[in-house]
Structure 1
Amino acid sequence: MQSICVPAGLVSSEIDKLDKSSREPHVYSKRDMVYSPDQPLHSLFAVKSGSVKCYTIDSDGKQQITSFHLTGDIIGMESISNGAAVTYCEAMETSMLCEIKLNRLFAQNFTGVDKNLLRLLSHRIGQRNTHYLNVVNTTAEQRVASFIMGLSDHLYEHGFSRNEFKLPMTRTDIANYLGLAVETVSRVFSSLKQKDIIDTKQSILFIQAPAELKQMAS
């Protein structure tokens, strides 16, 4: 469990303590709910494998995806302030998550954990601000390119290939998250493939021209 379920930056003594604060990984099947709004939530969840999407549902029943989470991410940080979930979080595929109890976590003296959580919270705020600006101020092509580059960078940071990876979310989910029509997302993907910038085979995405994709995203 240590490699992903335990945050980086801890010394061995802190890792031993945190292991006691963590439950064994739980397997969620596709579409299983990790948690839902107003549910008491006193834990963080580390994504050991698979992927999760978080979303809200408005009064008309319309879903709005707020974030995607892949291997190495931690979800549930909104529970730190109010002890309750504020979004739905659902497995997009068979996924393994480790539950870390907050009361046990904060009962210990974890210098590394404190720093890591602050880093993650800061990164999350930065991601949301960047996403908002992208949706408001960029073209469809820029949004899709930036989205793909973001996935690539995240997976590379966690030891996976930067240029070949599984795309677990549907075109519909991507469109929802980026504030675009599904047809627009499909058209941009087709255009990127025709330009030999990316390729796809079933759910696997290949970045064939990373420099061009990065330039397109900027």
Structure 2
Amino acid sequence: MQSVCVPAGLTPDKVEAIDLSSRKAQVFNSKATVFEAGQKLSSVYAIKSGSVKCFTLNESGQQQVTAFHLVGDIIGLEAIATGAASTYCETLETSMLCEIKLGSLFDQNIDGVHQNLIRLLSQRLSHNSRQYINIVSTSAEQKVASFLLLLSEHMQQHGRSPAEFKLPMKRTDIANYMGLAIETVSRIFTLFKKQGIITSDQSMLTILDRKKLHNRSVPFTTTE
């Protein structure tokens, strides 16, 4: 997130210029809409705290969860190409997002900004590919294990504990995202607890045996 909000190597005066013209921190309450599908977007949003769920709606108005985003993620990157959002995105909890106004940012021609955005887009493509492999795997147990490991890896990449972290999303949303029944997801969580792989207290999850969890996941979705 910081590499977009403040590209590395900038002098203090350039950082101040970005702060004044390109960045705006906003607090969103839980279940607040950040943007809607089809909405014109000239900004991207960096998640400074909290979490976001993105989804589409079918003809009946039912949600299909497409992604969960946590601290350090950037949402709205797809609008760089089309000028509009492709999904609905709403907060899962009270969250602080840094709105980055791309027009103002690009107009300043500050070295490092374009390169950082290209790097972020590349990371997003890689992450989406791994998520897709997880979603299409045939085993429900593999899907859940891989999902938890991807969250753990994300936490580690952003300087947080990979073994103990909050699950801000509901089990129903997790099931929707992976194309499983809520009963199946609950059963697998219970199974992993009985096997001593994980434990949970309300929304906090602790990975007790990472090796066992990895062995139950889709191969190559995470690293040891």
TM-score, normalised relative to structure 1:
0.92
CA RMSD of aligned residues (A): 1.8
Give the SS at the match of 2:38.
coil
Q: Following TM superposition, by how much is the alpha carbon of 1:63 offset from its aligned partner in structure 2, in angstroms?
A: 0.8
Summarize the Cα distance change of 1:21–1:192 in structure 2 as closer, same or farther, 3 Å threshold: farther
Amino acid at match of 1:33: T
Residue 139 of structure 1 aligns with an amino acid whose one-letter code is S
In 2 relative to 1, CA 7–141 (structure 1 residues): closer, same or farther, beyond 3 Å?
farther
Name 1:156's counterpart in structure 2.
156
Distance 2:58 2:125 in 1: 22
Is residue 24–residue 100 contact of structure 2 (8 Å, CA) maintained in 1? no
**Matching residue of 1:176:** 176
Give the deviation of 1:23 after TM superposition.
3.3
Task: State the Cα distance separating 1:210 from its structure 2 match.
Answer: 1.1
Aligned residues of 2:6 and 2:15 also touching (Cα < 8 A): no
Q: Distance in 1 between matches of 2:5 and 2:44?
A: 11
In the alignment, residue 8 of structure 2 is paired with which amino acid?
A: L
Match of 1:12 in 2: 10
Tell me, in whole angstroms, the C-alpha distance in 2 between the residues paired with 1:97 and 1:6: 13
Identity of aligned residues (%): 51
Q: 1:9 Cα deviation (Å)?
A: 5.1
Distance 1:17 1:170 in 2: 40
C-alpha separation between the residues in 2 aligned to 1:93 and 1:142? 27
Q: Do the aligned residues in 2 keep the contact of 1:6 with 1:19 (CA within 8 Å)?
A: no
In structure 2, relative to structure 1, the CA distance for the partners of 1:7 and 1:142 (3 Å cut) is farther
Q: After superposition, what is the alpha-carbon deviation per residue over 1:106-142, rounded to whole angstroms, capped at 9, x for unaligned?
A: 1122442222211221222222222222222331111
Deviates more, 1:117-126 or 1:84-93: 117-126
What is the SS of the residue equivalent to 2:23?
Answer: coil
Matches of residues 1-150 of structure 1 in structure 2 within 5 Å? 4=2, 6-7=4-5, 10-13=8-11, 15-150=15-150
Once the two structures are overlaid, the 10-residue window that deviates more, 136-145 or 197-206, is 136-145
- What one-letter code is carried by the residue in structure 2 that aligns with 1:10? A
Normalised to the residue count of structure 2, the TM-score between the two structures is 0.90
Alpha-carbon distance in structure 2 between the residues aligned to 1:73 and 1:133: 20
SS class of match (1:206): strand
Gaps of 5+ in 1: none
